[in-house]
Structure 1
Amino acid sequence: MSTSTTSDTTGAFDIPSIPPIWCPFEARMHPDADGVADHLVEWARRSLLIRTPSAAERFHRAGFGRFSAAVYPRATQLHLVAEWQGHNWLADDQLDEGLTLADPKDRERVADQLLSQLPEDLSWLHLPVRRGTAGASHAASPLTAALSDLWHRTARPMSRAWRRRFVGHYRDFLAFTLLPHSARGRLTPPTLAAFVERRRQNSGCEMSFDLSAVATQTEVPAVVADSEPYRTVRRCANDVISWTNDIFSVRKEMARGDEDHLVAVLRRVHDTTWDEALARAVDMVKHRTGDFVIACDDLRDMRRLYGVDDFGWRAVTESLTDLEGWISGSLEWHRWSPRYRLVETTETGSVPSYIEPHVV
């Protein structure tokens, strides 16, 4: 049963102030940022992803359009990648909060339906575009229909290698989002190392990084994209962004009795206070940001090993700049957005009022 929406502490514990988070990269904003927010709300309404006033208010107030403009400041396809981000946030809320009372098999059904909308074989793309119905599997809900339409409009110009990577990253996102709700996930508290690996997968960062190529219509050459040094760069960026999200979302997670986040894991592993756990998390972000800088420098020094031309290497270096923008833009949005400051306190296992059941 829902109780209240508040910017204060949840009552279960006192949330300390978030310490400053170090970021050496300048935050940039897409020049068309002002228009993308309204576009995103209209897209969500048209796609039947939001219907009720409370859901619409929360979606608009969270500022997902601003988020997209902050993390894709160079985008030539800003509206398209903003729709992807809006869909990803809504899918995550549904799988993580909306199906709280559902049987695990119902969660798996939703995940299977979503994944089936992303065929790597694009032979169906010669068919006329029918918004919300393209794809390999029937889109049975607004969430799956919207994903089918997004894939139809996104996949055509991208390489087979890109499609393979994106589908794999989307599959990982779904699998690891479901994991904490499985019997094993609930009964086996992860070690810090295990949690960090899980968090990388369920953050959605990898597929969002893939969408940078859609945003700019420029792909990193596969020989680099599939290399371990490039994956290391992305892992570092993923960790920084995911851990930063966990730091800012402590109040939201605890308001619904969820301790599957970095600060709670650090508190349990180190048997420490919330203040000390937050300080440890902030320190982890700082050191991981330093790892990212070093990994980028290492990759730049390896150019001669990949045999790519000037055009291909420019795509690599621009992608590193895009990852820097993801780190700084995500931090800027978390500092600004009320999504994690104004939370709805619920009894454990209850569904917040802003979650709309028609979506899945």
Structure 2
Amino acid sequence: MTPKKNRSGAEFDVSTPVEVTFPPISCPIRARLHPEAAGLDDHIIAWARHADLIRDGMATDHFHRAGFGRFTAAVYPRARQLELVAEWQLYNWIVDDQLDEGHVARTAAQRLHTAARLCAQLDPDLDAPAPSGPLAAALADLWERTAKPMSRAWRERFAAHYRDFLAFTILPHTEPARIGRQSLADFRRRRRLNSGCEMSFDLIEPANFTEIPPAVAASDAYRAVRDAANDVISWTNDIYSVHKEIARGDHDHLAAVLWRLGGGTWQDALDEAAARVGDRTADFASAVRDVRAMRPLFGLDPGRWAPVEESLADLGDWIAGSLEWHRWSPRYREVAATRVGSAPGYIEPHLV
């Protein structure tokens, strides 16, 4: 593989580990953990094995160590349907791994075929075709249990966000040349779409048996809150996953974009990334204040406004909880020495 250069002329080769220190990330929001967190990792691993998403002992150990149950308990600390959203989170990490570095990631046609099969399950009328294979069958089960009590507007919103997640997880692989020349603005737009944050934010509502009023959900002011939260969470992930991405020659993350555009060292790029996370966290707080200031204009009584107020707090919990989990989890410290196009041992071929 040809070594890459940034504007300063510095080179790196994916075979050479990059030595960096994770910079401190400022977060004024206190992280909380759901009181029913204990045993959640055991539950979701058992669910995944029952759904035939995980068979091998190596995969079981890998996903158990990553602590996606703890992740869910940190980002949904007041969820009334905690096990359901934890199953969603583990499922989404498995799909992300498969599309990003798994056996379905070997050709563009395979990725598109898998994405199309999954999108077909998220029918707003709950009239999807019979699922084919474990990935589609598990999604059909999750969708049935989650979407049935929700409005059609919520179903359409979630399905659109899931489609975006699948598409923009695939696109970096189908357009590798674009990654090396994309602007920071283009990266930010695409990163929001492939992060999975939007569909995860949508799950806050069924997790708590509530819905955001459509007028608020569709407003630019509320959109700004979610965009800021998405950036903070996505960029925090980019910082903590830098060793994994560099080891695989993946340049579609914030540190790589800043390194390429700004010159300097990888440590300089990570430090700048952390500063940008801090700035966007401040933007989040400002956007929350704006939505609250607009409350009289939405014409909602206290009962109908309550889900909005709760959702603003829930999005803050997502920021704090995601950071807490990234600091704790070994997922990105245990880097598999594989390149793009090859699959680590914990990613199982039966899901293709």
TM-score (norm 1): 0.92
Q: Does 1:332 find its partner at 2:324?
A: yes
The residue aligned with 1:142 is 134
State the shift of 1:103 in Å.
Answer: 2.0
State the SS of the aligned residue for 2:25.
Answer: coil
Distance in 1 between the 2:346 and 2:67 partners?
Answer: 15
* Structure 1 position 209 matched with structure 2 position 195: no
1:104 aligned to 2:96? no
Alignment partners' CA distance in 1, 2:241 and 2:179: 23
Percent identical pairs in the alignment equals 58
- Match of residue 71, structure 2, among 67, 77, 91: 67
How far has the Cα of 1:190 moved from its partner? Answer: 1.2
The answer for the alignment partner of 1:30 in structure 2 is: 34
Pair 265,359 (structure 1): closer, same or farther in 2 beyond 3 Å: same
More off after superposition, 70-79 vs 137-146 = 137-146
Alignment CA distance shift 1:206-1:314 (3 Å)? same
Match of 1:169? 161
Residues 335-354 of structure 1 deviation map (CA, whole Å, 9 limit, x = unaligned): 00000011111244321111
Cα distance in 2 for residues equivalent to 1:183 and 1:18: 29
Report what 1:302 is aligned to: 294
C-alpha distance after superposition, 1:237-279 (max 9, x if no partner): 0000000000000011112111111101100011221010000
After superposition, give the CA deviation of every residue in 1:149-207 in whole Å (9 maximum; x if it has no partner). Answer: 00011111101111111011001111111110114655753111100100000000000
1:12 equivalenced with 2:16 (yes/no): yes
Match of 2:5 in 1: none
Q: Give the conservation status (yes or no) of the 8 Å contact 1:179–1:185.
A: no
State the distance in 2 between where 1:261 and 1:295 align.
25
Find the aligned partners of 1:16 and 1:219 in 2 and give their Cα distance.
43
1:85 Cα deviation from its structure 2 partner: 0.4
TM-score for both structures, normalised by structure 2: 0.94
Tell me the residue number matched to 1:82.
86
Specify the alignment match of 1:131 in structure 2. none
Amino acid at match of 2:213: P
Q: Which residue of structure 2 lines up, in the alignment, with residue 346 of structure 1?
A: 338
Counting matched residue pairs gives 340
Structure 2 gaps, min length 5: 1-13
Q: Equivalents in 2 of 1:185, 1:225: separation in Å?
A: 36
| SS of 1:346 mapped into structure 2 | coil
Secondary structure (helix, strand or coil) at the match of 1:294 reads helix
Assess, with a 3 A threshold, how the Cα gap between structure 1 residues 184 and 275 changes in structure 2: closer, same or farther: closer
Tell me if structure 2 keeps the 8 A contact 1:73–1:325. yes
**Do the aligned partners of residues 36 and 329 (structure 1) sit closer, same or farther apart at CA in structure 2, a change above 3 Å counting?**
same
Q: Contact (CA 8 Å) 2:179, 2:251: kept in 1 or not?
A: no
Unaligned runs of 5+ in 1: 1-9, 125-135
After superposition, residues 182-261 of structure 1 pair within 5 angstroms as 182-183=174-175, 189-261=181-253
39 and 101 in structure 1: CA distance in 2 versus 1, 3 angstrom threshold: closer
Amino acid at match of 1:79: E
